[in-house]
């Protein structure tokens, strides 16, 4: 049973560039949430996708956008990268119909460094 | 004030001792409460969840919830060096559709 798969694992980008991160949820999960975790801090909620729509959004600017595909996989796009966007980006999937009530399964994350 | 507060630590206990981790939260609409373990350089892993007042035990781990006091705790009995990690407390509000995390408590278990 495949867990949550994220790609790439590491990425270095220059300020002002754009980046796309990818996630495949755990088999049987249909809801994908994205979190940003800065060093020494807890994960911060970016947004959640369910049925190919953004259902909830955290306090992140419009530079952060996403998409969910019919196979439940998801992408996170960040435009006009800032140095402060350097962080570990985590994809979390959860069981259908539970509203994530029983917790997440996290992917291994994408470490983004903006220089 | 953060929505979920944890002692940042570090918390250091000897091998075999009980480690006690605490968390308070501000959203009274939260329905589920989680403890995730995060090893250095890795992603969080769910180890316990609780949604009713009282205690929930799973092996060496016991989660405790007091909704009136807005307090969640995690006890780790017979602590092992492999328990050394950062423990993240998270609270979930279904209406908001998200879990909110604390900044974690770093636990070190010394052999």
pLDDT 10s per residue in chain A (115 long)?
569 999 999 999 999 999 999 999 999 899 999 999 999 999 999 999 999 999 999 999 999 999 999 999 999 999 999 999 999 999 999 986 666 777 899 999 999 999 9
Using the predicted structure, report yes or no on whether residue B38 has a pLDDT greater than 70.
yes
Contact residues on chain B for A25, CB-CB shorter than 8 A: none
- For the sheet containing B19-25, what is the strand order? B4-6, B19-25, B71-76, B61-66, B54-58
Give Rg (Cα) of chain A.
Answer: 13
**Digit-coded pLDDT (tens) for B65-82:** 999 999 999 999 999 999
Query: Which residue spans within B1-111 are E strands per DSSP?
Result: 4-6, 11-14, 19-25, 32-38, 45-50, 54-58, 61-66, 71-76, 85-93, 98-101, 105-110
Give Rg (Cα) of chain B.
Answer: 13
Half-sphere exposure of A8 (CA within 13 A, CB side): 9
Contact residues on chain B for A30, CB-CB shorter than 8 A: none
**Euclidean distance between CA atoms B102 and B4, whole angstroms:** 5
CA distance A42 to chain B (A): 4
Residue B8 pLDDT: 78
Task: Report B:59-98 residues touching A (Cβ under 8 A).
Answer: 88, 90, 92, 94, 96-98
């Amino acid at each position: 049973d495949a867990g949550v798969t994220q790609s790439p694992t590491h990425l270095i980008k220059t300020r002002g560039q754009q980046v796309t991160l990818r996630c495949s949820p755990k088999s049987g999960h249909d809801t994908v949430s994205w979190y940003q975790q800065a060093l020494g801090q807890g994960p911060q909620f970016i947004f959640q996708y369910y049925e190919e729509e953004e259902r909830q959004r955290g306090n992140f600017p419009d530079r952060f956008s996403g998409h969910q595909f019919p196979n439940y996989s998801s992408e996170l796009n960040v435009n006009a990268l800032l140095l402060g966007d350097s962080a570990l980006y985590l994809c979390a999937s959860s069981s259908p119909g539970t509203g994530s009530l029983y917790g997440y399964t996290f992917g291994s994350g994408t470490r983004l460094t903006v220089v | 004030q953060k929505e979920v507060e944890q002692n940042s630590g570090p918390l250091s206990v000897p091998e075999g001792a009980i480690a006690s981790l605490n968390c308070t939260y501000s959203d009274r609409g939260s329905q589920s409460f989680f403890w995730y373990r995060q090893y250095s350089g890795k992603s969080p892993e769910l180890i316990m969840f609780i949604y009713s007042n009282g205690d929930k035990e799973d092996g060496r781990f016991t989660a405790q919830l007091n909704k009136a006091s807005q307090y969640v705790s995690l006890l780790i009995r017979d602590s092992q060096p492999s328990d050394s990690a950062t423990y993240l407390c998270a609270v979930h509000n279904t209406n908001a559709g998200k879990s909110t995390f604390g900044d974690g408590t770093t636990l070190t278990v010394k052999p």
